[in-house]
């Protein structure tokens, strides 16, 4: 793997940057050299919000537009892009159409994962139509097996149309961060069976990348940073030598290692959520390996938002967090410790002090 340093990278892209005057926040880029070494972009949680008529919340539009424009500047080009879910805020056709209009600007193939904000108004019908995507599927790329799951399902009786006056009532319960009348996310039995069958065809030394919207680990139930059957899904993934789970939903940098599985969360292009532990009254199950980002500054609309580009080499995943208004972060797999690490911020004295708001 060759790493281009910042100067080389900026020289090679300066013409492009000058041409479109986009802020260029990329630090480094890795050149794919071996069969299973490549990069892809990961964009998530844009929460495109319809106001009325042709009016949409400008800030959320801008977040997605910026991510698309920056991802298009990557050199070499990423092999594809993954969208991590919550393209829309309330899953309406208007929001999904508008989100897809922006997403059509992405160069190359996009693989879509469904989020609860795309789903609960009509159980994914409009989302499937607009994205042309299945709710769960797999594909192979350069020796790596990718699986995309719908991890935001819940109990069938909670989802049933008969329980609700309108699909939008169901959506509004699930669309809240602390959703006291919501229901825990789950992959569910049908999909777990499908996953077992899908993986039966794959040799256990094939690197596996699993995309889900909610974390396939239990972080904090009060905010549904949680998947109820996470352990059962992890058990299906256990026979594989090298597994990485990439997820959206939490709108913040998180990473963890459980056995053979590395976990990485994506930032949102829309807004950052606080870390659960910042609520003193709530129990927090934030992975101990995660070095938290400082709190977002509410006076900077793009603060603590961004997108990711991912370098995958021999099954190891390095996630490059491209932030709009903050220093970029890299969470890279450390082969010696056998887990993802944010080396630049690991020491307490290197961590950024919390911002003060008055
Ligand atoms: Fe979200
Ligand atoms: Fe979500």
Please list the pLDDT of the chain residue by residue as tens digits (358 residues).
344 443 443 334 443 433 334 444 443 344 434 457 999 999 999 999 999 999 999 999 999 999 999 999 999 899 999 999 999 999 999 999 999 999 999 999 999 999 999 999 999 999 999 999 999 999 999 999 999 999 999 999 999 999 999 999 999 999 988 888 889 999 999 999 999 999 999 999 999 999 999 999 999 888 999 999 999 999 999 999 999 999 999 999 999 999 999 999 999 999 999 888 655 444 457 888 888 887 677 778 888 899 999 999 999 999 999 998 888 999 999 999 999 999 898 888 888 776 665 5
Q: What separation in Å is there between the alpha carbon of 338 and the centre of ligand 2?
A: 29
User: How many Å apart are CA 228 and CA 183, to the nearest integer?
Assistant: 10
The residue to which tokens 């069976």 are assigned: 193
Predicted pLDDT at 18: 37
Q: Give 274's strand partners.
A: none
Predicted pLDDT at 16: 40
Number of the ligand closest to the Cα of 270 = 1
Predicted pLDDT at 119: 98
Q: What separation in Å is there between the alpha carbon of 130 and the centre of ligand 1?
A: 19
Number of the ligand closest to the Cα of 213 = 2
Q: Give 38's strand partners.
A: 312
What's the CATH number of domain 9-350, 3.40.50.300, 3.90.76.10, 3.30.420.10, 3.60.21.10? 3.60.21.10
Predicted pLDDT at 324: 86
Q: What separation in Å is there between the alpha carbon of 86 and the centre of ligand 1?
A: 5
Kindly give the interhelix angle for 230-237 and 189-200, rounded to the nearest 10 degrees: 10
Number of the ligand closest to the Cα of 174 = 2
Ranges of each domain in the chain? 9-350
Q: What separation in Å is there between the alpha carbon of 58 and the centre of ligand 1?
A: 17
pTM attached to this predicted model: 0.89
Q: What separation in Å is there between the alpha carbon of 41 and the centre of ligand 1?
A: 18
The structure tokens listed for 255 are: 């990473």
Q: What separation in Å is there between the alpha carbon of 178 and the centre of ligand 1?
A: 13
Predicted pLDDT at 307: 97
Q: What separation in Å is there between the alpha carbon of 138 and the centre of ligand 2?
A: 21
Q: How many C-beta neighbours within 10 Å does residue 347 have?
A: 9
């Amino acid at each position: 793997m060759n790493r281009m340093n910042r100067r080389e990278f900026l020289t090679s892209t300066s013409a492009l940057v000058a041409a479109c005057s986009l802020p260029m926040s990329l630090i480094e880029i890795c050149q794919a050299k071996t069969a299973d070494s490549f990069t892809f972009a990961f964009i998530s949680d844009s929460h495109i919000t319809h106001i009325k008529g042709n009016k949409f919340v400008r800030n959320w539009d801008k977040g997605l537009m910026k991510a698309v424009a920056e991802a298009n500047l990557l050199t070499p080009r990423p092999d594809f892009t993954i969208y991590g879910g919550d393209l829309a805020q309330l899953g309406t056709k208007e929001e999904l159409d508008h989100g897809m209009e922006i997403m059509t600007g992405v160069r190359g193939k996009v693989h879509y994962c469904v989020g609860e904000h795309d789903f609960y108004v009509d159980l994914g019908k409009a989302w499937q139509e607009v994205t042309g995507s299945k709710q769960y599927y797999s594909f192979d790329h350069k020796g790596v097996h990718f699986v995309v799951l719908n991890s935001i399902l819940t109990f069938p009786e909670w989802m049933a149309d008969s329980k609700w006056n309108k699909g939008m009532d169901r959506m509004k319960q699930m669309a809240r961060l602390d959703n006291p009348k919501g229901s825990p996310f789950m992959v569910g039995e049908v999909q777990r069976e499908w996953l077992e069958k899908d993986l039966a065809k794959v040799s256990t030394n094939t690197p596996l990348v699993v995309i889900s919207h909610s974390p396939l680990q239990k972080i904090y139930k009060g905010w549904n940073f949680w998947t109820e059957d996470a352990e059962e899904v992890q058990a299906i993934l256990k026979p594989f030598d090298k597994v990485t789970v990439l997820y959206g939903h939490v709108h913040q940098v998180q990473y963890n290692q459980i056995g053979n599985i590395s976990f990485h969360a994506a930032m949102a292009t829309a807004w950052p959520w606080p870390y659960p532990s910042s609520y003193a009254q709530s129990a927090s199950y934030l992975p101990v390996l995660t070095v938290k980002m400082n709190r977002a500054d509410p006076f900077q609309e793009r603060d603590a938002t961004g997108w990711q580009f991912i370098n995958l080499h021999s099954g190891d995943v390095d996630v490059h967090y491209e932030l709009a208004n903050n220093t970029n972060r890299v969470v890279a797999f450390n082969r010696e410790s056998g887990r993802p690490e944010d080396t630049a911020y690991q020491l307490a004295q290197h961590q950024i002090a919390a911002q003060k708001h008055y």
